[in-house]
Amino acid sequence: MKKSLIGKNLDEFSDLCIELGLENFRSKQLFNWMYRNEVNDLTELKNLPKSLIEDLKIGHCIHPLELINSTNSSSEKTNKFLFKTQSGALIESVLMNEKNRVTLCISTQVGCALDCKFCATAKMGFKENLSVGEILDQYLLARQKINKPITNIVFMGMGEPFLNYKNVIKAAKLLNDPNGINMGSKRITISTAGVISKIEEFTKSKEKFKLAISLNGTTNEQRTSIMPINIKNSLDELLNVARRYTETVNRWLTFEYVLLKEINDSVEDAKRLLSMLAGMKKCKLNIIPYNETDGEFRRPDKDQIENFVIALRPAKFPITVRWSKGTDIDAGCGQLATRNQV
Please say if 116 is a catalytic residue.
Answer: no
CB of 121 to ligand SAH, least distance (A): 7
Please say if 333 is a catalytic residue.
Answer: yes
152 scored as a contact of ligand SAH (CB under 6 A): no
DSSP labels, 65-93: -EEEEEEE-TTSSEEEEEEE-TTS-EEEE
Positive or negative, the Cα torsion across 326, 159, 33, 153?
Answer: positive
129 scored as a contact of ligand SAH (CB under 6 A): no
CB of 61 to ligand SAH, least distance (A): 29
CB of 80 to ligand SAH, least distance (A): 15
Q: Which is nearer to ligand SAH, 218 or 291 (CB)?
A: 291
* Residue 117 to residues 138, 224, 236, 281, 294, Cα–Cα distance (Å): 27, 10, 21, 30, 11
Binding residues for ligand SAH restricted to 48-87, rule: CB under 6 A: none
193 scored as a contact of ligand SAH (CB under 6 A): yes
Question: For residues 335 and 193, what is the distance between their CA atoms, to the nearest angstrom?
Answer: 16
Per CB under 6 A, the list member of 85, 167, 192, 233 interacting with ligand SAH is 192
Q: Which is nearer to ligand SAH, 33 or 162 (CB)?
A: 162
In this chain, which stretch among 72-80, 133-141, 290-298, 300-308 interacts with ligand SAH, using CB under 6 A? 290-298
Binding residues for ligand SAH restricted to 229-288, rule: CB under 6 A: 256, 258, 288
Per CB under 6 A, the list member of 13, 31, 202, 290 interacting with ligand SAH is 290
DSSP labels, 5-17: STT--HHHHHHHH
135 scored as a contact of ligand SAH (CB under 6 A): no
Are 175 and 137 in contact by the 8 Å Cβ rule? The answer is: no
Are 82 and 64 in contact by the 8 Å Cβ rule? The answer is: no
Binding residues with ligand SAH: total (CB under 6 A): 18
Instruction: Give residue number: closest CB to ligand SAH.
Output: 334
* Residue 60 to residues 5, 52, 216, Cα–Cα distance (Å): 7, 12, 43
- The catalytic residue among 17, 92, 207, 283 is 92
CB of 335 to ligand SAH, least distance (A): 6
Total Cβ atoms within 10 A of residue 340: 8
CB of 291 to ligand SAH, least distance (A): 4
**Could you tell me where the beta strands, DSSP code E, fall in 252-316?**
253-259, 283-289
Total Cβ atoms within 10 A of residue 214: 27
CB of 95 to ligand SAH, least distance (A): 16
Question: For residues 285 and 48, what is the distance between their CA atoms, to the nearest angstrom?
Answer: 50
Binding-site string for ligand SAH from residue 323 to residue 342, where x marks contact by CB under 6 A and - marks none? ----------xxx-------
User: Active-site positions?
Assistant: 92, 333
